[in-house]
Structure 1
Amino acid sequence: MNRYEFYELKSWMYLPVIFIGLLGNFASFLVYRTAPMRKSTVGTLLLILSLIDILLLILITPIFVLVFLPLWQDQWQKYSFHMSFFAYSTRYVYPLCMMTKSCSLYLMVLITIERWIAVCRPLQAKVLCTNRNTMKAGIFIIIFSIVFNFPRFFDYKIGDGYLSEMWMLDTEKHWWYFMFYFIILSVIFDYFLPFLIMTIANYHVIRALQESDEVITGLAVQKRKDQKTTVMLLVVTIFFAFCHLFSMFLKVAESIFGGFLTQTSFYWEVFAEFTIFLIIFHTSSTFFIYYGFSEKFRTIFHDIIRCRQRLDDVKCSTYLPVNSSGAVSESKTRKAPAIV
């Protein structure tokens, strides 16, 4: 198998995973936009995360899937439409993809911190864990992600014949940029700092859950529901950390060798694609974690599906769009896509 055949094969593998991820995250968005879910800060955070993950999967598609599929005339030929699509996607879509990835990463960190406060500092939770504070933190994360990843617009440039060429990532001309920004700052803010926060917070949350198991019979019903939510979010964050661990390993290895390992060996290219697949797989699978671990999520999801067939049900007004008079808007409901 040559290099082009490998990239075509992996693109066909990515395609169904991304499609399932788009459906799953859209379903999660429909669930977390309902009034019962938006009452909690966790619901608000997961609502934002679903939107960010949808955007991430959309941005990933042209760069890592479409350009490698046999859909183009004169594929990989200079001045072809395919080469211009690849060059402009690398130049402009790739930085947006990295911004969205950072948003998703730090939203997971924020969710972990919220659970740590709720479980380990319950007396402070009512003051700190509010929807107002959550929105402020979410806006800060978006601004930080844009500012931190803005230099990536200068990573590549469009050369003669619509060839995508390294610009600031050219280690021979801009070695300082490669080491300081692409390696050191990226390792710190994309991997080390968020993983350190999640590891410490999750450790204390797990300890608190183990202690609460000893007195589980004395817990109120709401406390038990909160514990189940915490377990679900633990699974999400730990799975998230695992899927990003290999990317961190590749980044650290490149910092040690002082260059792009993917340019030295085809095996490193395969490993790099494996790290990308894990990130896509995690982004596409969160719906199944929510569905498997959260009874409330399952109940609302099933109600949303049933309500699309029973608009006259009073209970459905909780889940479906309403007009200014407070009645369910039938026209808007018909336009909404069905979740299968």
Structure 2
Amino acid sequence: MPESFEMDEPETINGTLNVTLAGLTDTNLGLLMWYFINGIAGTIIAGSGILGNITAAVVLLLPAMRNSTSMLLVVMAVYDIIFLVLFALLQTLPLVFTANNVCVDYLPVRVFLFKYFYFVVHICHNGTIYMTMLVTLERSLVVLLPLQAKLLCTQTRACIASLLVLVWSVIYSIPRCLEFVQETNISMKLTEYSVTKSSFGKSYFYNVVYLVYLNSMFHFIIPVGVIIILNVAMMQRLCTRGRRTITMVSSRGDSQIRLTVMIIVLTAIFCVCRLLAVLELILYPTEPSSSIGVEQFQITCSLTCNVVVAVAETSPLLNSATNFIVYSIFGRKFRRSLYSLCCFWSCCRKYLWPQSFLPSSNVQSDQLRTMHS
């Protein structure tokens, strides 16, 4: 969904996946891979990523953590949270529900969500890409131009840059609004709503120029190229300082180095996930189809192709869900702030919890006497 592979109508997916689980054949084995990789694993990754990004955003908003880099990371966490929630509701959970024939009533809800929030998914996906590039640019200014960075890297400028990323993400995702149209099927007993490809969604411009060429340029070549160049420059600067930096650096300088290493690791994971996503663009069939979805793609794609594309579809989830792990491993200040926040919550819970649920000292002493008697 984030790149070129589009979700089909829930009824089509439902019937296909039920056959896949009932009897394994060469034809539907690829769909089974989709169920486990994008359905089961994708749902687990999305759920853990939502919790991790919420925790990371709360910690980064603490006064002790607040700076221009933290502001950018908070905005990126917001994009990731919305992206993970909507991706799970629109793609991973429907795969699990339909394959196991549970929560059938959710399918009409998915049609509604697909119509009004499919556009938002791609806004958040595009926002995550360029916020990652913006974080790398901000960190490279601190490392390569430390004097100028004190004037340029402020929280106000970080907010302005984040707003520009939002505007760009909305503009770039406008074609996604025109990809699908809602159809109403009125029968004797009920009215059914479905989402199908529009004439624009079937056009050569959208399926080839926009999905393949423009996405390759703006979702991979430009952001990954800029990030690699800046990361190499930062690593060279850190390496040239050598042991002199290690022995003479102050505690603040050591914190800046740790933050830089954390950003490099974060962007390295991003580049790997983007590389997997580009494989989907290479394997994507460029002929416009009225029903470009799981069933149609599986027929024109081999088992290996299905596995690669399923992994490529899941890679944006993995990229959005790993931020909290990277912060916890490489951010000493982040770990201290998280520990302080947990201690504060524990103390508040202790003093605000109703006394009727806590054993009094008299009850405890009576219990001790009973045990020793």
**Mapped contact 1:86–1:164 kept (Cα < 8 A):** no
Deviation per CA, 1:116-163: give whole Å up to 9, x if none.
100011121011101111000000101110111021012122345544
Q: Tell me: higher relative CO, structure 1 or 2? Use CA pairs within 8 A at least 6 residues apart.
A: 2
Query: How many angstroms apart in 1 are the aligned matches of 2:113 and 2:34?
Result: 16
Which residue of the partner structure matches residue 231 of structure 2? 202
- Compute the TM-score of the two structures, normalised by the length of structure 1: 0.82
Which sections of structure 2, spanning at least 5 residues, go unmatched? Answer: 1-23, 186-191, 354-373
The reply to whether residue 222 of structure 1 matches residue 252 of structure 2 is yes
The reply to whether residue 297 of structure 1 matches residue 326 of structure 2 is no
The reply to whether residue 262 of structure 1 matches residue 290 of structure 2 is no
Greater shift in the superposed pair: 215-224 or 298-307: 215-224
**Mapped contact 2:178–2:201 kept (Cα < 8 A):** no
Alignment of 1:276-291 (within 5 A): 276-291=313-328
**Aligned to 1:310, what secondary structure does the other structure show?**
helix
Which residue of the partner structure matches residue 325 of structure 1? none
Which sections of structure 1, spanning at least 5 residues, go unmatched? Answer: 313-329, 332-340
CA spacing shift, 1:75–1:269, aligned 2, 3 Å: farther
The reply to whether residue 28 of structure 1 matches residue 52 of structure 2 is no
Which residue of the partner structure matches residue 94 of structure 2? 67
Query: How many angstroms apart in 1 are the aligned matches of 2:70 and 2:201?
Result: 43
Which residue of the partner structure matches residue 212 of structure 2? 183
Query: How many angstroms apart in 2 are the aligned matches of 1:8 and 1:42?
Result: 38
- May I ask how many residue pairs the two structures share in their alignment? 308
**Aligned to 1:157, what secondary structure does the other structure show?**
strand
Deviation per CA, 1:96-127: give whole Å up to 9, x if none.
11110111111100000001100011121011
Quote the offset at 1:74 in angstroms: 7.8
**Mapped contact 1:67–1:85 kept (Cα < 8 A):** no
Which residue of the partner structure matches residue 196 of structure 2? 165
Query: How many angstroms apart in 1 are the aligned matches of 2:166 and 2:225?
Result: 21
| Identity percentage of aligned residues | 20
- Compute the TM-score of the two structures, normalised by the length of structure 2: 0.75
Which residue of the partner structure matches residue 13 of structure 1? 41
Q: Which one-letter code corresponds to 1:150 in the other structure?
A: I
**Aligned to 2:209, what secondary structure does the other structure show?**
helix
Quote the offset at 1:64 in angstroms: 1.6
Larger Rg: 2
Q: Which one-letter code corresponds to 2:52 in the other structure?
A: G
**Mapped contact 1:88–1:158 kept (Cα < 8 A):** no
CA spacing shift, 1:310–1:163, aligned 2, 3 Å: closer
Query: How many angstroms apart in 2 are the aligned matches of 1:276 and 1:102?
Result: 15
Which residue of the partner structure matches residue 363 of structure 2? none
Q: CA RMSD in A?
A: 2.8
Q: Which one-letter code corresponds to 1:111 in the other structure?
A: V
Quote the offset at 1:220 in angstroms: 2.1
**Aligned to 2:52, what secondary structure does the other structure show?**
helix
Q: Which one-letter code corresponds to 1:20 in the other structure?
A: S
Quote the offset at 1:296 in angstroms: 0.3
The reply to whether residue 49 of structure 1 matches residue 60 of structure 2 is no
Query: How many angstroms apart in 2 are the aligned matches of 1:26 and 1:265?
Result: 37
CA spacing shift, 1:168–1:100, aligned 2, 3 Å: farther
Which residue of the partner structure matches residue 145 of structure 2? 121
Which residue of the partner structure matches residue 180 of structure 2? 156
Quote the offset at 1:26 in angstroms: 1.1
